[in-house]
Amino acid sequence: MKVLLNGSSYSVENNCSVNSLIKNLDLSGKYAIEINQNIIPRSQYSDKKINSGDKIEIVQAIGGG
Amino acid sequence: MTNFDKDKFKIADSIYSSRLLVGTGKYKNIQETKSAINESGAEIVTVAIRRTNIGQEKNEPNLLDIISPDKFTILPNTAGCYDADTAIRTCHLARELLNGHALVKLEVLADKKTLFPDIAQTLSAAEKLVNDNFKVMVYTTDDPIIAKRLEEIGCVAVMPLAAPIGSGLGIQNPYNIRNIVENASVPIIVDAGVGTASDASIAMELGCDGVLMNTAIAEAKNPILMASAMKKAIQAGREAYLAGRMPKRAYASASSPIDGRFF
């Protein structure tokens, strides 16, 4: 199914959890995840399922003033 | 000589020795960022919150791997936000990614050319964030009334601009900055517009608790050397302030005695 990930269209398997997405993306370091403008706490990564059309934002800290 | 170990200051519930706070933007690379920060002696370091580059080079280091939250106090900013809601959203994401670390730098901008803050949105965001247990260090204008209002809302530090972000113009209205300092019960940190060492010294001579800068160091021809200069400038300005400067006079006051002249 299709979702919007960081502004771009992205395909995930049906019934994909946030944890699976993280594994697929091979994310490392410190990041935070929002789905439809709701922050998903780390404790919910394995339970929270992604739905078709979800708008997902994954952010990290970068250089800034 | 001032023992800087004794002249510490407190933001929220944490105590710091260094009164120089630095940003991490605009450097050539992450190594230069780290070297400049180390040279500056800064303990508080700002970062921006942006989308992870999905599919980026996996070899590229994460900023927080190099500038670790274990060693530094990370101060996430809300740079690029033009309304309270976006700024608040950014703060929530920052708190999540930093495992509950609640210190944030709130900036809500009004205008792309000057990057002056939107005061109405800043006040609104500050209130909501404070009510949500964030410790807010707030970027604002050098308006003493607004500075006091932000303190009353519960911000842990108020950060008036010296001049527009990245302009390097130095403090444009020292009288306002002094007024803000005199009326404040929270740390006042000049943020934005510092260009060179003397600008930082002047901020400290006015009684500010600290100075936050990014471009002044990152865009110097030799950022590491400028970081060193800024560290000394902040110390010099602080000592001058604590020493209590001489008064300004309209006319001369001779330094050598009249008595005993042989002519």
- B93 has a chain A CB within 8 A of its CB: yes
CB B62 to CB A7 under 8 A? no
Checking ipTM against 0.90, whether it exceeds it is yes
Q: Worst-scoring range by mean pLDDT, B56-60, B105-109, B193-197, B198-202?
A: B56-60
Which residue of A25, A61, A62 is in closest CB contact with B54?
A: A25
Q: Which helix (H) or strand (E) holds B127?
A: helix B119-131
Question: Above 60 in pLDDT, residue B4?
Answer: no
Question: For residue B202, what are its two tokens?
Answer: 């002047």
B204-222: pLDDT as tens digits: 999 999 999 999 999 999 9
pLDDT of residue B6: 77
CB A32 to CB B93 under 8 A? yes
A6-59: pLDDT as tens digits: 999 999 999 999 999 999 999 989 999 999 999 999 999 999 999 999 999 999
The residues pairing with B121 across neighbouring beta strands, listed in sequence order, are none
Rounded Cα distance between B116 and B145, Å, is 16
Q: Given the structure tokens 């309209």, which residue do they identify?
A: B250
At B1, the pLDDT band (50, 70, 90 cuts) reads low
- B134 has a chain A CB within 8 A of its CB: no
Question: Above 80 in pLDDT, residue B3?
Answer: no
CA-based max dimension of chain A? 40
Q: Is the pTM of this model over 0.90?
A: yes
Sequence-ordered list of residues with C-beta below 8 angstroms from that of B206, at least 6 positions apart, any chain? B171, B174, B177, B178, B181, B241
